[in-house]
Each structure stands twice: as C-alpha cells, then as structure tokens.
Structure 1
C-alpha cells in the first residue's frame, strides 16, 4: 500500500530491498528468536505504538532486548540500562533487534528511509513540529538516524531517571533530529534514499553535508 509521503518509485524500492533482505536474513531472524526464547523467555518481540502520520499510529516490531516491566514508556536512557539483557546488548550492538521491522516495511507502515517514527506522546507534545516531519513516511533509517544516533545515545546514557531522560530527549534530541529530517525532506531523491539504505545495510557510514555544497557525500 502506498501511503502519505510515499511515491510509487520509493514503494517499489522498499519492496525490492525488503524481499531481498528477508530472503537472506530469515535464518538470522530464526536464530535470534530462538536465543531470546531460550535465554530470556517470552515475549520474543517488543511491540511499541509509533506514529506514521500525526493522527495515525501503528505497531512497530523489534526483538525484545530488555527485561519485562509492567509499564514502559518513553525513550531508552541510562535509567533503563539495568534492564537490558545480555542477549539484548549483543542485538543492540549490531542493530539486530530492528530486523522485525522488515515486516513493518512489507506491510507499508514505514519505509526504509525516512524520519524515525515517534511515540504518540512526542507527537502530541510537539504537534506543529511533527506535522511537518511526518509529511514523509517514517523509515527504519534516515539522515537523522545515521548522523545523530550515536550523539543521542551519548546524551541519554548518563541520564539516571525517566524524568531526566525525557528532559534531555525533548530539549536536545527532538529539535536536532527534526531539523535533519526536514533538511532531508527538501533534498530527497530516490538516488539519495538508495545511498542512505546502502550506507545503513552494508557500511553504516554517516553521510556528511558540507555547507555551501549542493551534494550529500558518503
């Protein structure tokens, strides 16, 4: 299904990539699922509501990397580090926890490339900002993900309480990531999406934008 912010060409590229990756990665996904089941028990998947438009949510799939708690909300910061399982540390290190999102792409909830789908709470807190960001279909990877992911981790890893994590994320991360997402939106092409996808899958090298230059470089 082709939804808001998704062209026919972009959807065809998504389907091509996702079918290719599912074909070669399904054994890895089965092994990861078995590891979680044996070492940490059920559930194998972590399901989180995310937003693909300012008003429409969907269920984002990930392999579970944390111990279960009755209530869990907000982004992951230092206050949640103690909950990460040994299996989860390995999955997060190699981003294997995100493999189930291939099924979100197949379904059409998200694209390969686009802004990371936000939690409903942030969309409701910053409606004007996300009204612009979510004009593009969210993605597994994107300019903000590649350029800001490590910085975000460094900012949040020293937060000791959920309140501190929320404050830092809203003050430091939300505006910067939105700025990069909107910058990408103005310059996006199928070719650039392809380059970001390749960088994520094979090299995971952040693209570099040089002020005054007309091109993004990898």
Structure 2
C-alpha cells in the first residue's frame, strides 16, 4: 500500500522530470516538424478518465489533421487517412506518447498503470472499471504491450469503434485487472523495461 501511494508517486515525479529535461531537444525537433508540415497545433489534447473517475486532459504530439475527431472515429487504424506524414513516423516509434510525461509530472497519470480511456468507452464498461479507476492510469502496462500494434489489428475493420468496444477493450480490461492484482515496484520496473525493449525492437 505504501508503494502505491507514496513511493510510486515519488518515482513518477522524479523520472518524469528527468525525462522531460533530457528529452527537451527531441520535443523541440518534433514540434518544429509538426508545425512545418501543416502549421497546425503541436499538441493533441483529449479528455480521458483518470483515478476515481476524475476527468483530465491527456497530452500527445499531434499526429493527425486538425479536428480529426470531428471527421472520424476516436479509435485510429493503421491506414487512417487522417494521419499526417510526420504523424506516421511518430506513431510508429511511439514518440507521440512522450508528452504524457507532462501528465505524469502533474499527477494525472503514472508511468505504469491501466491506459486511460475516453469517457464513453469507460461508460460502456462501467462495472468493470470500478476497480480499475481506483489506481492512476499510466503510459504503459500489460495491455499497452499486448496491443502495441493495435492500429494494425484494426487496419481492415469496417467499423473500428465497434471492433474496439466489442473485441479489443474487453481484453484490455483483463490486462488492467491483472496489473492491479500484480502492482509492485518490480512489476512496474519490468513493464518499463519491456516497453523500452519493444519500442527499440
């Protein structure tokens, strides 16, 4: 319990701060590339459901055209025409997720934890999310690793949201529940190292 409440938060704060400082040059380069492509906003912000059902804005580097959510589904597949040229590169190497270190620093998220979902998806599985929402959402976890190529899985889906809600999200929920059961410093360390290894691979 002590790890969950205090040590985990301390580790999150220290590592996210160090990460943001070290990655500042990368942030600047990515920001310039995004701005140069279409002149649009650098960051993508979206409402997600956090610990205890509290809403927060998640930060990502924008990888799609402006107002993409208004012209398509909230779930993205690999061949989605809304994805920009630089966006394809960022998504391939998960670089679009880097700004979530800001969320970790602020305390909205943890480095490791169940991935935060949009309100309507959480509402669809309200009962299952009762326990999941007791912990902070994270940048990576078992589900993030299992579905690291989720966009490819959805590539040929005619209705991406239907497939996500009925087939993928229920499986993710099982992994979220597994993490809650296994939560510990060693579990977090293993998941962070596995995530780094998968991205490099």
Question: Counterparts of 1:133 and 1:51 in 2: how far apart (Å)?
Answer: 11
Question: Could you state the TM-score of these two structures normalised by the residue count of structure 1?
Answer: 0.83
Q: Kindly state the Cα deviation for residue 32 of structure 1 after the two structures are TM-superposed.
A: 0.2
Structure 2 residue ranges without an equivalent (≥5)? none
Whether the 8 Å contact between 1:22 and 1:102 is mirrored in structure 2 is yes
Whether the 8 Å contact between 1:155 and 1:168 is mirrored in structure 2 is no
- SS at structure 2 position matched to 1:7: helix
- Root-mean-square deviation (Å): 1.8
- SS at structure 1 position matched to 2:58: strand
| Residue 161 of structure 2 is aligned to residue 166 of structure 1 | yes
How many residue pairs match? The answer is: 195
Q: Kindly state the Cα deviation for residue 10 of structure 1 after the two structures are TM-superposed.
A: 0.5
| Residue 170 of structure 2 is aligned to residue 175 of structure 1 | yes
Whether the 8 Å contact between 2:53 and 2:133 is mirrored in structure 1 is no
In the alignment, what sits opposite 1:108? Answer: 107
| Residue 76 of structure 2 is aligned to residue 76 of structure 1 | yes
CA gap 1:132/1:108 in 2 versus in 1, 3 angstroms: same
- SS at structure 2 position matched to 1:67: coil
Deviation digits for residues 174-207 of structure 1, max 9, x if unmatched?
Answer: 1100001101111111111012112223x127xx
**Which 4+ stretches in 1 moved above 3 angstroms?**
none
Deviation digits for residues 139-167 of structure 1, max 9, x if unmatched?
Answer: 000111112232x333311124xxx1111
Q: Kindly state the Cα deviation for residue 119 of structure 1 after the two structures are TM-superposed.
A: 0.4
In the alignment, what sits opposite 1:48? Answer: 46
Question: Counterparts of 1:6 and 1:75 in 2: how far apart (Å)?
Answer: 30
Question: Could you state the TM-score of these two structures normalised by the residue count of structure 2?
Answer: 0.90
Whether the 8 Å contact between 1:6 and 1:137 is mirrored in structure 2 is no
Question: Counterparts of 2:103 and 2:93 in 1: how far apart (Å)?
Answer: 19
Whether the 8 Å contact between 2:73 and 2:161 is mirrored in structure 1 is no
Whether the 8 Å contact between 1:49 and 1:57 is mirrored in structure 2 is yes
Question: Counterparts of 2:193 and 2:13 in 1: how far apart (Å)?
Answer: 15
Structure 1 residue ranges without an equivalent (≥5)? 206-218
